[in-house]
Amino acid sequence: MTPVITVDGPSGAGKGTLCRLLAEKTGFHLLDSGAIYRLCALASLESGCDLEDQSAVGELARKLDIAFKLVNGATQILLAGEEVSTAIREERIGLLASKVAAYAPVRAALLERQRDFCRAPGLVADGRDMGTVVFPGAALKVFLTASAEERAKRRARQLELAGKAADYAKILQDIQQRDESDRNRENSPLVAASDALELDSTLLPIDKVFDRVYQKAVAQLGAHLGRVK
């Protein structure tokens, strides 16, 4: 069976960096499931679809024309052939992704698409319900958290480094709103799998988080990792 490592947790906890490091080290494929929900949000917005109509957004999710292309080591994200890697990272798209991600028809439409990413030699899957719903049989499950204040600080720093305006209070408010909707929704809420390794990156630097997770991966997936090296 193809081995899967799942990393779930709230936005800004460091999942993206951890998953990238794990994928680089193991040679496994990478699934950024949040990007798929963001693509669905952007497509809904651009199509003028009624964002309150769960079936209509679900239908759109079913037909979503998306692609992830590796160009010079960086992943380009395409929606109907158009590069939208930057556009989907906007805060308003994150909030809209969180809204449409609560719709059962949307989650059903995107479930198999996410499972299709699971190919040899293995997969590192980043999201909210990777270990609980999409890959419940994963070989290693991680649940990564950090305080909302620390996550807002990181996001503000990221924006400042990119030369953009950063309003800490607004960022914190958006993060708390997104946490609230992701944790309390009925379908696939953000929750740690009972067998997940839970880590808090508030005070633990991401390289230390990576060391802890990779150690555990070696212990649990040793034979598979040996094969891809």
Pairing of strands 66-71, 74-79: antiparallel
CA separation for the pair 93, 37 (Å, rounded): 9
Binding of ligand DC at residue 143 (CB under 6 A)?
Answer: no
**Interface with ligand DC includes 5 (CB under 6 A)?**
no
Should residue 37 be labelled a site residue for ligand DC when binding is judged by CB under 6 A?
yes
Minimal CB distance to ligand DC: which residue?
A: 34
Nearer to ligand DC, 26 or 98 (CB): 98
Q: Which is nearer to ligand DC, 46 or 215 (CB)?
A: 46
In this chain, which of 6, 11, 132, 145 binds ligand DC, going by CB under 6 A?
11
Closer residue to ligand DC (CB): 35 or 225: 35
Single residue of 31, 77, 97, 123 touching ligand DC by CB under 6 A: 97
Is 34 among the residues that bind ligand DC (CB under 6 A)?
yes
Helices and strands (H and E) in the chain: how many: 8, 8
- Does 128 sit near ligand DC (CB under 6 A)? yes
CB burial of 150-176 (b: ≥16 within 10 Å; e: otherwise) equals bbbbbbbeebeeeeeebeeeebbebbe
- Residue 115, judged by CB atoms within 10 A of its CB (0-12, 13-18, 19+), counts as middle
CA distance 87 to 179: 21
Contact status: 118 vs ligand DC (CB under 6 A): no
Which residues, numbered 152-171, are part of the site for ligand DC (CB under 6 A)? none
- Give the residues lining the site for ligand DC (CB under 6 A): 11, 33-34, 37-38, 94, 97-98, 101, 127-129, 178, 182
